[in-house]
Amino acid sequence: MKGRWKKFLSYYTNYKVLFFKDMFCAMVSAAITLVYPMITRYITGTILNQPKIDYSKIYLLGLFMLCLIVVEYFCNYFIGYLGHVMGVYMERDLRNELFSHYQKLSFRFYDEQNTGQLMSRLTNDLFSLTELYHHGPEDIVISIIKFIGAFILLSYINVKLTLILFAILPFMFLFAWYYNKKMKTAFKRNKERIGDINERIEDNLSGIRVVKSFANEDQELERFDKQNGHYVSAKKNSYYYMGRYNAGLTSFTSLITVSVIFFGTLFISYGSINVADLIAFLLYVTNLIDPVKKLLNFTEQFQEGVTGFERFMEILEIEPDIQDTKNAVVLQHVEGNVMFDHVSFRYNEQTPYVLNNINLDVKPGEYIAFVGSSGVGKTTICSLIPRFYEATKGNVLIDGINVKEIKQQSLRENIGIVQQDVYLFTGTIMDNIRYGNLEASDEEVIEAAKKANAHDFIMELEEGYDTDCGQRGVKLSGGQKQRISIARVFLKNPPILIFDEATSALDNESESIVQESLEKLSQDRTTFVIAHRLSTIKNAKHICVLTENGIEEQGNHEELMKLNGNYARLYNMQFKGEK
Ligand code: ADP
Ligand code: MG
């Protein structure tokens, strides 16, 4: 906990100057508000009571107050503008730090996390935190100065009246604290209800074709209306408390004002106070409401900010479970030899082993296929090569070097992966292919697209390589997307390749085009192929049949058929199916 506080405060270090300027301005502005009533009291009480009124003094004091107003203006301007700017700088630092940590965390982390949650940690949570960073110290300083200052000055004018005033304040504070809390809880519930509505809408619109095909519009409307009803009652609840809160604060302010006037006039009649004192008192009353609100604001900001910071630290404190070792090496020239040495693997300690004692020695340039029923661990075995996960037992070696000893970046630079699902980023086709090698020129990108059989279809698009292909971009077919992803890998030009069901989701026609570009890509590179349709790997020289017990059969198609084991069974099953 102590470490976390240290960390919390450490974000101020880069902005010390801004922070102290901000604090200074907050103090000055709070102090100035305390001065006006005193000057007013001096004018009404002292100057006006002289037998001969000294107007020059009044003008001078008027001018002085004008100057104070100007100073106050600049202080408030500084707090409002540069104070917030400091908050934003800090928010940027926090966000960059967390985002950079996200980039470091490994697959295992993302297996367990929900993207929406991770996003909100980077946005909403941080926002509440920066509000605290910026307003927290400022609000406290302003409130304390205003409270203590007013208390001292008022006691100096009249102790009894001060005590009456400060006797009411705690009740006001308690009242405001209670309803403020209720109100904020209610507002939080509103947000949740809005979240529910959003989720409903998204679910409905994403599945609108299903809704229509089942003619379930009425039922959907009914469900939606119910959710909307929940929203209305949540809102009603929050307005109830908001109404109470605002009305209560106004009434308390009036109560304090009226009490001051009532007791003040009584005291005037006893002669223990004069009109000028009463005016000063009344002016301070309005001054006291502001710090009450600020303090309430602070308690709430503090809670939210601390929660935000805890959620921030929770992730930041997670060590990536795959890290470069101190002496990790950078691969120089990779031949492409990949060896599995007694490799066993399980995803976590609670689940059984997915891979058992895998031994394989794949020579540079070899084309090797993994087959086996779904869920047997084909994807898993391939994800150990780029060290997305780490072998639980045994080692994976590239050109004789253990992958654990290689810098992750260098390791992954040498491996190209083509998967069933292709992710295209927001941006143009050109950008997306260039993702394979950010330094590539336009010509090199086009060359890669040509090799991947993608150039022709890209040129047929209205905007060619400038076509936007993100979420909101043009709709590309599965085969087209796949060819873009293959072009990426051509551009990357790695010595080791993994094709994980790259053609499984495609129709026969695009499959053969994609297959052709995959074969071109795999020339002279060590290639691991996982294919659902055995026809696509029939020509592989080396086929491994994976089962729960490890690699049960190995060889080429003819040899495996002769064995008449698992492979033959799978093959015959598909062959029959395809007929
Ligand atoms: P295949 O590619 O042969 O269909 P996978 O390698 O994807 O099989 O999965 C092998 C086994 O590991 C399956 O039982 C699957 O449920 C499990 N598995 C796959 N990915 C994960 C993961 N990220 N976390 C936990 N278990 C997983
Ligand atoms: Mg798989």
Per DSSP, 272 falls in state S
Three-class DSSP category at 338: strand
Count of positions (residues) in the chain: 579
Ligand in closest contact with the CA of 378: 1
- Paired sense of beta strands 393-398 and 338-345, if any: antiparallel
Q: What gap in Å lies between CA 481 and CA 422, rounded to an integer?
A: 6
Instruction: Decide: 190 and 234 in contact? Cβ < 8 Å.
Output: yes
User: Tokens 């029939």 identify what position?
Assistant: 538
Query: Residue 223 is encoded by which pair of tokens?
Result: 């469900």
Give how far Cα 63 sits from Cα of 29, 50, 405, 485, Å: 18, 21, 75, 73
- Specify if 250 maps to a domain: yes
Give how far Cα 381 sits from Cα of 38, 104, 198, 395, 509, Å: 80, 22, 39, 12, 29
Whether the CB of 388 sits within 6 Å of ligand 1: no
Question: Ligand 2 centre and the CA of 508: distance in Å?
Answer: 20
- Specify if 311 maps to a domain: yes
List 500's β-bridge partners, or say none. 419, 530
- Specify if 520 maps to a domain: no
Q: What gap in Å lies between CA 391 and CA 405, rounded to an integer?
A: 13
Question: Ligand 1 centre and the CA of 376: distance in Å?
Answer: 7
Whether the CB of 419 sits within 6 Å of ligand 1: no
Whether the CB of 376 sits within 6 Å of ligand 1: yes
Per-residue pLDDT of the chain (579 residues; tens, 9 = 90+): 678 889 999 999 999 999 999 999 999 999 999 999 999 999 998 898 888 889 999 999 999 999 999 999 999 999 999 889 999 999 999 999 999 999 999 999 999 888 878 888 888 888 888 889 988 898 899 999 998 998 899 899 889 989 988 888 889 889 988 998 898 888 888 888 888 888 889 889 989 999 999 999 999 999 999 999 999 999 999 999 999 998 998 898 889 889 999 999 999 998 888 899 999 988 888 777 788 888 888 888 888 888 889 889 999 999 998 999 999 999 999 999 999 999 999 998 999 999 998 999 999 999 999 998 888 999 999 999 999 999 999 999 999 999 999 999 999 999 999 998 889 998 999 999 999 999 999 999 999 999 999 999 999 998 899 998 876 667 888 889 999 999 999 999 999 999 999 888 888 778 888 888 888 899 999 999 998 788 778 778 889 998 888 888 888 888 888 888 888 888 888 776 554
Query: Cβ contacts of residue 224 below 8 Å, gap of 6+?
Result: 197, 200, 201, 204
Instruction: Decide: 150 and 288 in contact? Cβ < 8 Å.
Output: yes
- Specify if 140 maps to a domain: yes
Mark whether 147 and 7 lie in a shared domain: yes
SS (H, E, C) 528-540: EEECCCHHHHCCC
Whether the CB of 44 sits within 6 Å of ligand 1: no
Ligand in closest contact with the CA of 376: 1
Mark whether 253 and 303 lie in a shared domain: no
Instruction: Decide: 140 and 299 in contact? Cβ < 8 Å.
Output: no
Residue 239 carries which side chain, given as an amino acid letter?
A: Y
**Structure confidence by residue, pLDDT tens digits, 279-334:** 998 888 877 778 888 888 888 888 888 888 988 999 999 999 899 999 999 999 99
Whether the CB of 375 sits within 6 Å of ligand 1: yes
Atom of ligand 1 nearest to the CA of 389: 23
What residue numbers bound the domain in which 151 lies? 1-158+297-320
Q: Give, for ligand 1, the residue of 106, 108, 111, 347 to mutate: max count of ligand atoms closer than 8 Å to Cβ.
A: 347
Ligand in closest contact with the CA of 374: 1
Q: Which residues surround ligand 2, an ion (CB under 5 A)?
A: 379
Mark whether 222 and 123 lie in a shared domain: no
Would you list the DSSP string of 481-526? HHHHHHHHHHHH--SEEEEESTTTTS-HHHHHHHHHHHHHHHTTSE
Whether the CB of 373 sits within 6 Å of ligand 1: no
Q: Whose CA is nearest to atom 20 of ligand 1?
A: 380
Residue 231 carries which side chain, given as an amino acid letter?
A: Y
Q: What is the pLDDT of residue 577?
A: 55
Question: Ligand 2 centre and the CA of 410: distance in Å?
Answer: 25
Query: Cβ contacts of residue 492 below 8 Å, gap of 6+?
Result: 413, 416, 436, 437
What angle in degrees, to the nearest 10, is found between the helix axes of 55-78 and 16-41? 150
Mark whether 135 and 20 lie in a shared domain: yes
Whether the CB of 380 sits within 6 Å of ligand 1: yes
Residue 241 carries which side chain, given as an amino acid letter?
A: Y
Mark whether 1 and 101 lie in a shared domain: yes
Q: What is the pLDDT of residue 579?
A: 44
Atom of ligand 1 nearest to the CA of 380: 6
Query: Residue 101 is encoded by which pair of tokens?
Result: 């940590």
Mark whether 27 and 119 lie in a shared domain: yes
Q: Domain ends where: 493, 510, 535?
A: 493
Q: Domain ends where: 493, 524, 540?
A: 493
Q: What CATH number corresponds to the domain at position 453?
A: 3.40.50.300
**ipTM for the predicted complex:** 0.98
Mark whether 167 and 248 lie in a shared domain: yes
- Specify if 465 maps to a domain: yes
Mark whether 42 and 145 lie in a shared domain: yes
Q: What is the pLDDT of residue 343?
A: 94
In the chain, the number of structural domains is 3
Mark whether 251 and 188 lie in a shared domain: yes
Q: What is the pLDDT of residue 473?
A: 64
Whether the CB of 346 sits within 6 Å of ligand 1: no
Question: Ligand 1 centre and the CA of 548: distance in Å?
Answer: 12
- Specify if 282 maps to a domain: no
Task: Return the half-sphere exposure (C-beta side, CA atoms, 13 A cut-off) of residue 526.
Answer: 18
Whether the CB of 498 sits within 6 Å of ligand 1: no
Rg (CA), the chain: 36
Question: Ligand 2 centre and the CA of 69: distance in Å?
Answer: 71
Question: Ligand 2 centre and the CA of 460: distance in Å?
Answer: 33
Query: Residue 187 is encoded by which pair of tokens?
Result: 């507002």
Mark whether 116 and 40 lie in a shared domain: yes
Mark whether 89 and 154 lie in a shared domain: yes
User: Tokens 């102790």 identify what position?
Assistant: 159
Question: Ligand 2 centre and the CA of 531: distance in Å?
Answer: 9
Q: Whose CA is nearest to atom 17 of ligand 1?
A: 375
- Specify if 398 maps to a domain: no
Whether the CB of 379 sits within 6 Å of ligand 1: yes
Whether the CB of 347 sits within 6 Å of ligand 1: yes
Whether the CB of 177 sits within 6 Å of ligand 1: no
Q: What gap in Å lies between CA 418 and CA 403, rounded to an integer?
A: 20
- Specify if 373 maps to a domain: no
Q: What CATH number corresponds to the domain at position 61?
A: 1.20.1560.10
Query: Residue 87 is encoded by which pair of tokens?
Result: 């908050």
Q: What is the pLDDT of residue 370?
A: 93
Whether the CB of 377 sits within 6 Å of ligand 1: yes
Mark whether 29 and 104 lie in a shared domain: yes
Q: Domain ends where: 285, 320, 355?
A: 320
Burial class (CB in 10 A: 0-12, 13-18, 19+), 495: buried
Question: Ligand 1 centre and the CA of 99: distance in Å?
Answer: 27
